A and B are shown apart, each in its own frame.
Chain A
Amino acid sequence: SAVISQKPSRDICQRGTSLTIQCQVDSQVTMMFWYRQQPGQSLTLIATANQGSEATYESGFVIDKFPISRPNLTFSTLTVSNMSPEDSSIYLCSVDVGESNYGYTFGSGTRLTVV
Chain B
Amino acid sequence: DTGVSQNPRHKITKRGQNVTFRCDPISEHNRLYWYRQTLGQGPEFLTYFQNEAQLEKSRLLSDRFSAERPKGSFSTLEIQRTEQGDSAMYLCASSLGLGAYNEQFFGPGTRLTVL
A binds B: no
**Chain B interfacial positions (CB closer than 8 Å to A):** none
